[in-house]
Amino acid sequence: MKNFHVSTVGCQMNVSDSERLASGLKELGLQENDDIYSDLVVLNTCVVRQTAEDTATGLLGKLKNIKKKNPSMMICVMGCMVGPKTIDLQKRFPQVDIWAAPQKFEKILEPVSEKLNNNLNGCMPDLIPIQPKIASFVPIIHGCNKFCSFCIIPYRRGREISKTILEIKEEVSKLIRRGVKEVTLLGQNVDSYGHDLNPKTDLADLMSEINSLEGLKRLRFLTSHPNDMSSKIIKAIRDLPKVCETINLPFQAGNNDVLENMRRGYTREEYLDKVQEIRETIPNVSVTTDLIIGFPGETRDQFMESLDIVERVRFDKVHASIYSDRPGTIASRKMGDDVAREEKKKRMAVIVDAQKKISMELNLEYEGTTQVVLVENNSEGVYSGRSRLDKLVYLDGENIEIGDFVEVKITEARTWSLTGEVQKKINYEIEGQLIEH
């Protein structure tokens, strides 16, 4: 066994898990490949929606055929697809050698180590990426205690377990030494960070500690729950200079009856009050959201209340998804999937059209402004990065490199991105003196 490939389906937490596993495999001496024709293939799975599950099973079918020609290939499946359905999946895909639940990296690393005659002796290799991206993810809390009726995550990733502030600071410090300039703190419900620790702490305290680390330039976090987005956290975003003024605050539905059936724990009025508090405290904030379309029992009139929130709040971005029945959830057991697929698609089109208009109008306000962009990608000679408010910016300029901070004059707005001319490279410390829309 000489090389490996990790294929990832799903959320940022899965991306982070895959990066960590890859780091461990590299520590064992394996080389990472870009394709699935490798000695070891790991599929990191997601079951939040049926489309994600279908993507994973489709790839497993392809791997089955590849392994017929290469029997020595090792196939591993990890992530949220590993659970109550594993026995059925093992029958469907007997070619899979290892099944590992979320975070159970040792289930893969230990047998791989044995195959390489490299005994771990109970010591896990370093799972912090050796060559991390300029902007990296750091999980700070795993699991979720909310048990929203539509969500399978608590059943797959378990109850909330927070890392200590010291553990997180050590990890971020190591990433900084390895070249990282921006960190995004991750959690299924990141705002509940620290509530399970003894003594208790919270996300605001953690961000304050991370903000003090020398060498880190930007700090973000994902994903929030409206009930746990406290005034203390909102003020910390405003007051801590490295924390970017971006908040993803899912509302999921605009009707109170639907919200109650979702077990979200707030009303539309309380959600709108929270957004108002955020915008009054942080005037230049960028707010994005998540929305489920066609939840069981949702009528057309109830859906229109979701559209009303989209048009009233004017989010920078809406991550809308069609409701997908997840076996094992409360909604699946008790409600059924009674909104017709075609009706869901029509409602999705309404939301997409409305948000396209809003996003375009908001982005047009950036034309002619100066933004500071962290250069993150180079795709066939085209550089791109993100502004402090998380706007994707394509860059027109020369002599720039990934990791640079550049001053950019925005020349063109599109629905989901901006284009700008690079004026100059800058020291990030002067960013606060520049105009950030």
Look-up of token digits 């991105």? 417
Regarding whether 278 and 244 lie in a shared domain, the answer is: yes
- Number of CB atoms found within 10 A of residue 265's CB: 14
Binned average pLDDT, 10 residues per bin, the chain of 437 residues: 94 92 92 94 93 93 92 95 88 94 92 84 73 94 96 92 97 96 97 97 98 96 97 98 98 99 98 99 98 98 99 98 94 94 98 99 98 95 96 94 97 98 82 41
The count of domains in the chain is: 3
Regarding whether 395 and 307 lie in a shared domain, the answer is: no
402, 356, 358, 407: which is closest to 377 by C-alpha? 402
pLDDT computed for residue 429 by the predictor: 62
Q: What is the CATH number of the domain that holds 385?
A: 2.40.50.140
Domain endpoint, select from 364, 383, 401 = 364
Q: What is the CATH number of the domain that holds 41?
A: 3.40.50.12160
Q: Is 125:24 a contact under the CB 8 Å cutoff?
A: yes
Please report whether residue 376 resides in a domain. yes
* Separation of alpha carbons 304 and 306, rounded Å: 5
Look-up of token digits 């070249």? 179
196, 91, 63, 88: which is closest to 142 by C-alpha? 196
* CA angle (402 as vertex; 400, 404 as ends), nearest 5: 65
346, 366, 359, 347: which is closest to 420 by C-alpha? 366
3-state secondary structure of 287: strand
Q: Is 371:386 a contact under the CB 8 Å cutoff?
A: no
* Separation of alpha carbons 279 and 370, rounded Å: 22
Please report whether residue 128 resides in a domain. no
DSSP states of 406-426: EEEEEEEE-SS-EEEEEEEE-
| Rounded (10°) angle between helices 341-364 and 300-313 | 10
* Separation of alpha carbons 156 and 102, rounded Å: 7
| Domain of 71, in residue numbers | 3-115
Regarding whether 93 and 144 lie in a shared domain, the answer is: no
Domain endpoint, select from 364, 387, 409 = 364
DSSP 124: P
Regarding whether 345 and 288 lie in a shared domain, the answer is: yes
pTM: 0.91
Please report whether residue 386 resides in a domain. yes
Report how far apart, in Å, the C-alpha atoms of 213 and of each of 74, 146, 169, 376 are: 41, 32, 8, 21
* Separation of alpha carbons 208 and 189, rounded Å: 19
Please report whether residue 401 resides in a domain. yes
Please report whether residue 129 resides in a domain. no
Q: Residue 290 forms beta bridges with which residues? A: 319
Q: What is the CATH number of the domain that holds 215?
A: 3.80.30.20
DSSP 46: -
Look at the chain and count its residues: 437
Please report whether residue 73 resides in a domain. yes
Domain endpoint, select from 70, 86, 115 = 115
Please report whether residue 130 resides in a domain. no
Q: Token pair of 243, please?
A: 């924390």
3-state secondary structure of 40: strand
Regarding whether 11 and 142 lie in a shared domain, the answer is: no
294, 298, 10: which is closest to 152 by C-alpha? 10
CA trace torsion 434, 314, 50, 149 (10° rounding) = 110
Regarding whether 376 and 355 lie in a shared domain, the answer is: no
Regarding whether 389 and 360 lie in a shared domain, the answer is: no
Regarding whether 374 and 360 lie in a shared domain, the answer is: no
pLDDT computed for residue 121 by the predictor: 63
Regarding whether 290 and 192 lie in a shared domain, the answer is: yes
pLDDT computed for residue 103 by the predictor: 87
Q: Is 289:313 a contact under the CB 8 Å cutoff?
A: yes
* Separation of alpha carbons 39 and 46, rounded Å: 23
pLDDT computed for residue 437 by the predictor: 34
136, 143, 144: which is closest to 168 by C-alpha? 136
Regarding whether 330 and 406 lie in a shared domain, the answer is: no
Regarding whether 176 and 76 lie in a shared domain, the answer is: no
Regarding whether 185 and 259 lie in a shared domain, the answer is: yes
Q: List CB contacts of 243: < 8 A, sequence separation 6 or more.
A: 207, 211, 219, 220, 236, 237
Please report whether residue 264 resides in a domain. yes
